Amino acid sequence: MAQVKSGDKVRVHYTGKLENGDQFDSSQGSEPLEFEVGSGQVIKGFDDGLIEMAVGEKKSITIQPDDAYGQRREDFIMDVPLKEFPKNIKPELGQELELNQPDGSSVSVKIVDLNEEHVRLDANHPLAGEVLIFELELVEIVT
């Protein structure tokens, strides 16, 4: 029976949970996720967990932060003086924004604190620093 190798296009159902059991994502009830293994389309630990799986096989994998979204980084948290904040945006706690970088790329940030003088922005991925547990089911190796 064929087993997944790097470069294969696969279709997989998954459910992702945190160590405390909270579910953060799932493909159940929708189409399986389709991607090329090893292409960087998904986190490294997810890619690695599929290697050598056979169609119909199910398994649970645990992914450490370094093979997922990395460790939380304090240097990804910044305080912006409220007077420098765009006038067309009314900052609210929990609000998510896209910031344009000088190189033309953008970065997602979340407002995690604010007061009369500053807005604190966090550019860490929401799952940074978390151990992720995925239940995987290999649906198909696309030929």
pTM of the predicted model as reported, rounded to 2 decimal places: 0.86
Residues spanned by CATH 2.40.10.330 within the chain? 74-122
Architecture of domain 9-70+128-142: Roll (3.10)
Beta strands in the chain (DSSP E): 9-18, 23-26, 33-36, 58-63, 77-81, 96-100, 106-114, 118-122, 132-142
Tokens of 38: 């090893």
The tens digit of pLDDT for each residue in 21-69 reads: 999 999 999 999 999 999 999 999 999 999 999 999 999 999 999 999 9
Architecture of domain 74-122: Beta Barrel (2.40)
Q: pLDDT > 70: what percent of the chain?
A: 100
The tens digit of pLDDT for each residue in 75-97 reads: 999 999 999 988 898 999 999 99
Q: Are the C-beta atoms of 50 and 142 separated by less than 8 Å?
A: no
Taken in order 10, 13, 18, 19, is the CA torsion positive or negative? negative
Q: In the structure, what pLDDT confidence band is assigned to residue 143 with cuts at 50, 70 and 90? A: confident
pLDDT score for 87: 87
Taking alpha carbons only, the member of 16, 11, 22 closest to residue 50 is 11
